[in-house]
Every structure is written in structure tokens, then in C-alpha cells.
Amino acid sequence: MAIPEPRNRYQIMILYPITGFAPVARNSEIGYYPGMRQLIVGNWKMNGLKAESLARASEFRAFAEAEKPACDLLVCPPATLVEAVAKALAGSAIAVGGQDCHTEDKGAFTGDIAAAMVGDLGCRYVIVGHSERRRDHGENDTRVGAKATAAHRAGLMAIVCLGESAAERDAGRAETVVAAQLEGSWPQGGSPANTVVAYEPVWAIGTGRTPTVAEIAAIHGLMRTLIVARLGSDGHAVRLLYGGSVGPRNAAEILAIPNVDGALVGGASLKIEDFAAIARSCQAR
């Protein structure tokens, strides 16, 4: 599919309500899909043993039950802890996801985990294509798309990660790189019902650096344009997350940007005070 150029870098798409996709009067400045709750994802990465992770899950559950934040919450523990954390959060408002899955449903793939296995542990989501997987395991767009498709076969929501390197950003290629990644990583049958997209500029992950508001708005506006070009009006309902050094100090500003429908949070998701502050920053819609 040819990649269309947005009319301008900060284009805000026409928005529709969740039911039926019928056009409605709207304010072109709101930059979000009416009724769509933002999603805050805690990616715990390779952190935590069982006791501390269960204690963290208990704190997260208590927060969600006490404050009922105006967003959806998801945590993605290490594979060894998924089942225990899923049991600890069962019946709460916090969903559980995996950090990766294989492209195949089963087979001789030592050390890998099939999407159905992730779901069997109590997960509803799985992250695919995180920059650390792309960097450390050589995963390309085709493989990421195949993993997302495998997630769909298992009934999971795939969180497809994209993002440019510092060199690509400095060369003025950020939008070109992200557009190509989105095109190459988009799963077969991808839709709002089974796919979330997370923009994580590689140079911002864990560094304390974040893009400017204008830079985030430009990439998210571009992703929205490309997804709507692919899906039609359904593309307005695909959640687009921002990730990369999201914390309590910048969450409110980031979550107010048009077409930012939540955040993929790394280090700040390991402390209840930080994760709770980010969740409190969500925009009621």
C-alpha cells in the first residue's frame, strides 16, 4: 500500500463516536476519539522476583479499587511471573499482558512462548516489536507483524511497538522510519478490536529524554493518518500509545497531546507512586 503524506504535520483527523462510526459534530481541536479511554501499560521488563512482584501487584490493585482512574490499566510482568500476577489481579480493573510471543502456535522453538500459552496464563494483551527485542534479537518488521497476527489467533490484543533511533531522528528521517515500520509491522486483519500501536522513540527509552510536544504530535498524527488510510473510519478507534521516559512529571502534558491514547511505561511502572501519578494524569473523555 502506498503511504500517503499527511496534509500537514499536525493534521487532526475527523473523529467519530464509538458506536457505529456515524459522523457527528465535533471540535477539530480535541484530537481523540469520543468515548475512548486512555490505556496505561506498565512494562516491567526483566525486573522482579515473585515476592516483590506480588507485593507490587497488590499495591496496584488497591490503587485501582480505591481511585478508579479514568483510564484502562495493564501490567506486563516477566514471563515467569505472569500467572502469579494474573491470579493476584483477577477480578480487578487491571489487565495482564505478556512481553513477547512467538510467530508460531507451537513447535521446536526452545525458550520461546506461543501466544496461546500467554493467553493460557490469564493474559489479554501481548507486546510485540519492542525496540529492545528489535535491537537485541534482530526482529524486523515482518517478524513483528507475524507475532501480532499470532497474538490475534490466540485471542490477544497485540501492542505493536515502533520508533526511530537517535541517528534517524537527527537525520530528519523519524517520520519516514515510523511510517515504514507501521506499514511493515501491521498484522493481517489488524483492527481496533485486536491492535494497539505504541510509538517509542528508541533514544528516549530509559534515558530521561523525551521528544517535544510538537514532535510527539507529529508522529501520532502521521500514524493516525496512515491507519485511517488503511482501515477507513475504523482507524480512528485504534489506540495510539506514547512510550519513552514517561513519568509523573511529564505524563499530564504527554497525555493531553492529540492522538495520544495512553502510555507505555517502563521504569516508572515499578513504583506504585509513579504509576498511580501517571494514571491520575489521564484525560477523561
Q: Which residues are part of the catalytic machinery?
A: 130, 200
Q: Locate 39 and state its grid cell.
A: 490505556
Question: Distance (Å, rounded) from C-alpha 235 to C-alpha 225?
Answer: 8
Q: Residue 138 CB: number of other CB atoms within 10 A?
A: 8
